[in-house]
């Protein structure tokens, strides 16, 4: 502390002289020192790349896990604990997450950063028309912890029926009754079940509860973590006012893991004679390319975009597509197909609160966070408040999830960076900013939970460049119709007494093409949806789990690639259908169950 004080006072000695200056110097030094401890005593695992590269292509490991994201970090660390005599290598294309990932309220600032793959969708005529190049940005975490280092930290299981559907598609052991143990275990681990949790304070909670209750919906608050009809406040993966990157939780309990950082896996090495995975080809940031052998298995946990990319680079995928690219096909499977995503539609409503936040207030709130890890920067504002409805049948199996956000009037701190991070065209951003000059906003974002449209991941002609993402949003017109029914529900909220009292009304965002239509007509909304709807960053399904007789299946219920031995997938790409809620919790469960699958497999081998 003395050294820090000396450095600060040397910059401008006079203001820090005397008794007043000395007191102020200690205060400033305390703020700096406290902020320096934001990482506490946690240390990311060391990078073993150098020693592995020095040993060269003769090196081998029992298990090679590709991707240290939400699933891979859990799987690799738990597997190393279960089998301490095994040599397990975890390979990650990124590095340790930066300090910006620690602060919950900074989640949007992590988009398009070094922690983000910043994928972009392939343009089409139906969607993302209000975005630069008519292409939506798909943020995906790059670095230890993967997307858990940049996401909204929202923890939801989805609906129990989601997993009944997985089971009914031919996947024994994947029904809700079998998975609930894993949900309970991880909720205890992350202290999500903490009975002393008092929640976050936000005046909008009561306002929204009143509106929904007037429409006869139940407020579930923090009860359970299931995405059922009604409203709820969701728990976040935060601890002590900071993001709980899932990798942190698992890495701190293991010290037997080998980790390669800043290393890209180019492909899995497949023995074409016996169709067996026997290692990987990696490229380190230094430019060194080498082969690493797997004595037992290769596990792909690279996520719903990179996992199918690696599989196809390895010769596992649709034969017709691989033939076009010039890759020998070892196994003809529908890799990269069945892509599903939750699509979100931003709606902006004015209120009569007319709240503003000055730069001085923001600075004070930042200071509060640095000193105490409390205040608005310790959470994500209104975004943890959810509403779920079934728009078509009024059953307890919702097809729309509502997210919320609040922007103060003439917001110069959050609104523009948020819209720019999403990738909207400048004219869209300016149209929204023009409305914000006169109005504070309640953002209501209906989110499509059960899309009928499916997309695909393809390799480009130059396979080592970014994959082609065809989201195919709104390929099926029923998805637009579901959004129209969701907008009808927003109109019902507008008519509630609390919304009328607060002057909450939908605003017309001026979009040149959509201005041809009368505001608030179906034609207007079809146009608006095609311009404004975007991802909520939940792509799944590109290595579908299912039995061998399912022509679209890539892995079986033990997560093994059909027709290829010693190769499994452990991430969200195995989901046959997308869960009805934020996907992080389900991804963690997949990884945790995968550990038990491996243990059962090798324990039974030992018994023989």
Numbered residues of the known binding site for FAD: 265
Q: Are 141 and 377 in contact (CB under 8 A)?
A: no
Distance CA 379, CA 105 (A): 6
Largest Cα–Cα distance of the chain, in whole Å?
Answer: 82
Binding-site residue positions: 265
Give the Cα separation of 607 and 4 in Å (integer).
61
Q: Three-class SS string for 310-342?
A: HHHHCCEECHHHHHHHCCCCCEECCCCCCEECC
**Kindly report the CA angle at 398 between 397 and 402, in degrees rounded to 5?**
160
Given the DSSP bridges, would you call strands 289-300 and 60-66 parallel, antiparallel or unpaired?
parallel
* Sequence-separated (6 or more) residues with CB below 8 Å from residue 303: 67, 69, 140, 146, 147, 571, 572, 573
Q: At which residue do the structure tokens 């190393």 appear? A: 80
CA dihedral 336, 342, 343, 344 (to 10 degrees): -150
Is 272 strand, coil or helix?
coil
What's the Cα-to-Cα distance from 323 to each of 244, 312, 314, 483, 489, rounded to whole Å?
43, 11, 13, 39, 48
Distance, CA of 124 to CA of 64 (rounded, Å): 37
- 493 vs 187: CA distance, rounded Å: 33
Nearest to 440 by CA among 377, 365, 383, 356: 356
- Three-state DSSP at 174 gives coil
Task: Classify the C-alpha dihedral 224-583-376-508 as positive or negative.
Answer: negative
């Amino acid at each position: 502390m003395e050294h820090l004080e000396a450095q600060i006072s040397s910059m401008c000695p006079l203001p820090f002289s005397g008794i007043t200056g000395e007191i102020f110097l200690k205060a400033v030094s305390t703020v700096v020192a406290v902020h320096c401890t934001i990482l506490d005593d946690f240390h990311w695992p060391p990078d073993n790349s150098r020693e592995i590269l020095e040993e060269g292509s003769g090196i081998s490991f029992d298990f090679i896990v590709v991707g240290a994201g939400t699933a891979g970090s859990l799987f690799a660390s738990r597997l190393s604990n279960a089998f301490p005599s095994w040599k397990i290598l975890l390979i990650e294309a990124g590095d340790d997450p930066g300090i910006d990932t620690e602060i919950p309220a900074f989640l949007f600032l992590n988009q398009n950063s070094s922690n983000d793959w910043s994928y972009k969708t392939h343009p089409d005529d139906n969607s993302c028309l209000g975005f630069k190049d008519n292409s939506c940005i798909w943020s995906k975490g790059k670095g230890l912890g993967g997307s858990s280092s940049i996401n909204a930290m929202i923890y939801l299981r989805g609906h129990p029926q989601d997993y009944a559907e997985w089971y009914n598609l031919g996947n024994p052991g994947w029904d809700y009754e079998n998975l609930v143990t894993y949900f309970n275990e991880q909720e205890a681990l992350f202290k999500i079940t903490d009975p002393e949790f008092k929640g976050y304070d936000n005046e909008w909670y009561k306002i929204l509860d009143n509106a929904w209750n007037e429409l006869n919906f139940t407020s579930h608050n923090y009860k359970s973590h299931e995405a059922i009809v009604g409203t709820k406040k969701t728990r976040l993966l935060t601890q002590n006012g900071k993001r709980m990157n899932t990798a942190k939780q698992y890495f701190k309990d293991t010290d037997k893991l080998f980790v390669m950082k800043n290393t890209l896996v180019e492909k899995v090495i497949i023995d074409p004679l016996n169709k067996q995975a026997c290692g990987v080809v990696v490229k380190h940031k230094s430019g060194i390319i080498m082969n690493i052998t797997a004595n037992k298995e290769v596990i792909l946990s690279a996520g719903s975009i990179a996992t199918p990319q690696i599989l196809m680079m390895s010769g596992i995928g649709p034969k017709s597509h691989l033939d076009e690219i010039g890759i020998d096909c070892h196994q003809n499977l529908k890799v990269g197909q069945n892509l599903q995503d939750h699509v979100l539609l931003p709606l902006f409503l004015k209120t009569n609160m007319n709240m503003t936040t000055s730069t001085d207030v923001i600075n004070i709130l930042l200071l509060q966070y640095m000193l105490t890890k409390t205040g608005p920067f310790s959470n994500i504002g209104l975004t943890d408040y959810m509403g779920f409805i079934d728009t078509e049948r009024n059953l307890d199996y919702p097809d729309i999830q509502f997210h919320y956000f609040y922007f103060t009037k003439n917001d110069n701190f959050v609104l523009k960076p948020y819209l720019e991070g999403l990738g909207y065209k400048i004219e869209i951003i300016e149209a929204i900013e023009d409305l914000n000059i006169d109005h504070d906003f309640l953002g209501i974002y209906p989110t499509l939970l059960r899309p009928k449209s499916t997309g695909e991941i393809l390799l480009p002609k130059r396979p080592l460049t970014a994959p082609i993402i065809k989201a195919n949003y709104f390929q099926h017109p029923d998805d637009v119709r579901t959004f129209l029914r969701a907008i009808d529900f927003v109109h019902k909220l507008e008519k509630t007494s609390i919304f009328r009292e607060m002057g909450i009304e939908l605003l017309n965002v001026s979009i040149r093409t959509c201005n041809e239509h009368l505001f608030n007509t179906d034609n207007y909304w079809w146009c608006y949806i095609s311009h404004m709807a975007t991802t909520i960053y939940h792509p799944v399904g590109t290595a579908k789990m299912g039995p061998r007789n399912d022509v679209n299946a890539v892995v079986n219920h033990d997560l093994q690639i059909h027709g290829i031995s010693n190769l499994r997938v452990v991430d969200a790409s195995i989901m046959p259908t997308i869960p009805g809620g934020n996907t992080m919790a389900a991804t963690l469960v997949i990884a945790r169950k995968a550990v038990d699958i491996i243990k059962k497999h090798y324990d039974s081998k030992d018994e023989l």
